[in-house]
Amino acid sequence: MSDATRGEIQTIVAARMLEHARSVFIGVGRPSTAAILARMVHNPDLVLVYESGTIGAKPFHIPLSIGDGELAETADVVVSVPEMFNYWIGPGRIQVAFLGAAQVDRFGNLNSTVIGDYGHPKTRLPGAGGAPEIAASCEEVVVIAPHTKRTFVPKLDFCTTVGYGGGPGDRERLGFRGRGPIAVITDLGVLEPDAETDELTLTQIHDEVTATQVQEATGWELAVADEPVRTPPPTDVELAALRELMSR
Amino acid sequence: MAELMTLRDALASLVSDGDSVALEGFTHLIPFAAGHELLRQGRRELELIRMTPDILYDQMIGIGAARRLVFSYGGNPGVGSLHRFRDAIEHDWPRPIELDEHSHAGMANRYAAGAARLPFAVMRGYAGTDLARHANVRMVECPFTGERLAAVPALRPDVAVVHAQEADRDGNVQLWGIPGVQKEAVLAADRSLATVERIVERLEPRPGAVIIPGWVITAVAPAPGGSQPSYSLGITSRDNDFYRLWDEISRDRDRFAEWMDEHVLSATDPSLTGAA
C-alpha cells in the first residue's frame, strides 16, 4: 500500500510502458515527466524526441515547453521542423508516441481542436500541432488523459487525430503505417483496443479503483476485460525517483 | 546584401497594413521585439502566419492587429490556453478573426514549398480527420505509385521576420539551437527581416548552426534581448515564469490592455533607435 496520488500512478504506469522502447515522441506535461522517469528507472538508453526538433534530449529538469534550452543543449541532434516531420516522424522512425487530448472516443480518436462547433466554438482548444501525422506514422501511440466523462465522450466534437476511425480496417484504408493506439493510460486504469473490434477495453485498474468507478467516469458503455489486471503499486524506487524529479 | 537598419526603420519600410507577415521561431528565437514594434507602429489588418502563435501572437491578436491567422497550434506551451486567441475566436473580441488552420506537418511543408517556389507540397497527412474538411488540403494521386497523398498550398508571406543570435556587417545571419522553420520562412517570403542579438565583425562557424546568407535577406536590425520572454540559446534564457504569468495577465481584457499599454505600446526601447 503506497501513498501515491492517482496522478503519480498514471505517470508511473506510463513510464513502465517505455521499459523496452527504443524511442518515444513526447509533448510537455505528464508525458514528458513519464518519459524522463522511464530514462531514470527503467531504460537509460531511451531516445526522447520532442516536436521542437530535439532528438535524444536528456533533460535533468522537467521542461515547461517542448523547446526549452536544456533540450537543445543535451540532444544528440537538433533538426528543423520540416526535417522532423518529413524525415523522422512520417517514415515511422519513432517507435512510441505519447499523446494527450481534450476528448477521446471509444476507438481512440482524439479531439484537441474545439468543444462545440468549429465555426463558433464554445471552447477553442490549441489545435492539432503534430498529432494527426504522429498518430498516423509512429509505430505505436499511447494516449494519456484524465478519466472523466468530459474527456471520454461517446462522440467527438471534432476529430483532430484518428485512432482506429470507425473500427477495423479504417487505418489500412487511410494508408496509415503505424499500429495506432495500443493503450490509453488514465488516472483510473488502462484501456486497450480489443483485438477484434478495436474498441477500447478496460484491461487494467489502478489500486483502490473499481470497474464501476471507471464506467461512471466514461461517457459510453465501457467494455471491460474478463479479468482486468490490478495495476502493480508503485515501487519505492519509482515513487522516490518521480518525487525527486518533480522537486528539481 | 541585407541592409543594416534600426528595427523601427526596417519595419516601417518592410511592413504595411494588410500584409501577410510570418514572425517565426519555434519556442526558441521568437521575434518579440519586432512584433511589439509592429504594434507600436499601429499596423492593422495583418494576415499573421506562425506555426505556434504563442504569447506574441496572443498579444497581436488581442490588440486587434490581425484579420487572419494561419497556424497549427495555438497554446501557451506547458501552461494552457492563449486567452486572447480564444477570446477572438470564441467572442470575436476585439474583432473577428479568420482562421487558416493546419497541422504542424502541413505548415512545415507549406513553408518548404514556398521556399522552393513550388505551388504546393505533397505529404502523408490529414487523412480521416475533420481538419481535412476545414483546412485548405486536397487529396492527390501519386503519378508513380497511385498512392493517395495530401497536397497543401505553398506559403508565400509578404514578409518574414526571424530572430537570430548574430549577423555580420554584410547581413549574413547565424542562428543555432532549435532552428524551427526560420530558414524556410525567410526563403518563402518576398521580403525579410532578421533581428539579431549582436552584430559581429566575422561569423565564427558553429557546428549545427543555420547560416542564412545576407543576399537573401532584405534587412538586418540589432535587437538585443529581442526574443524575450522566449530565448536565444547561449545568450538569453527562456523566461518560464513570464509564460506562467501571462496566463493571469491575458485572462482579463482590461488587465491585458493595461499591461500592453504599459509594457509594449508606450515603451521606449533604446535598441529601436540605436545605431545599426
> Which domains, from first to last, does chain B contain?
3-46+156-273 (3.40.1080.10)
Contacts of A36 in chain B (CB under 8 A): none
Distance CA B271, CA B276 (A): 9
**How many angstroms separate the CA of residue A230 from the nearest CA in chain B?**
31
Tell me the whole-structure pTM to 2 decimals: 0.96
Tell me how far CA of residue B48 lies from CA of A34, A96, B60, B110, in angstroms. Answer: 35, 34, 9, 15
Listed as ranges, residues in chain A with pLDDT below 70 are: 1
- Quick one: DSSP state of residue A231? P
The question of whether A51 is a catalytic residue gets the answer yes
Q: What pLDDT score was predicted for residue B269?
A: 59
Q: What pLDDT score was predicted for residue A29?
A: 83
Q: What are phi and psi of B61, to 5 degrees?
A: -70, -40
Q: Are A72 and B183 inside 8 Å of each other by CB?
A: no
Q: Which one is catalytic: A51, A139, A199, A238?
A: A51
Tell me how far CA of residue A106 lies from CA of A151, A191, A220, B109, in angstroms. Answer: 11, 10, 8, 32
Question: Best mutation site among A65, A99, A114, A123 for testing chain B: the one with the most B CBs within 10 Å?
Answer: A65
- Fold designation for A6-187+236-241: Glutaconate Coenzyme A-transferase (3.40.1080)
What is the distance of C-alpha B134 from the center of its chain?
A: 22
For residue B70, the chain A residue with the least C-alpha distance is: A127
What string of pLDDT tens digits covers the 276 residues of chain B? 899 999 999 999 999 999 999 999 999 999 999 999 999 999 999 999 999 999 999 999 999 999 999 999 999 988 999 999 999 999 999 999 999 999 999 999 999 999 999 999 999 999 999 999 999 999 999 999 999 999 999 999 999 999 999 999 999 999 999 999 999 999 999 999 999 999 999 999 998 899 999 999 999 999 999 999 999 999 999 999 999 999 999 999 999 999 999 999 997 655 544 333
Question: Best mutation site among B72, B101, B103, B110 for testing chain A: the one with the most A CBs within 10 Å?
Answer: B103
**How many angstroms separate the CA of residue A150 from the nearest CA in chain B?**
17
Q: Which residue in this structure is represented by grid cell 486497450?
A: A192
In this complex, the residue of B71, B81, B127 whose CB is nearest that of residue A174 is B127
Which residues touch B53 (CB under 8 Å, ≥6 apart)? B61, B69, B71, B73, B74, B82, B85
The grid coordinates listed for A194 are 480489443
- Give residue limits of the domains in chain A: 6-187+236-241
3-state secondary structure of B31: coil
Distance CA A35, CA A96 (A): 11
Q: What pLDDT score was predicted for residue A67?
A: 87
Distance CA B236, CA B229 (A): 9
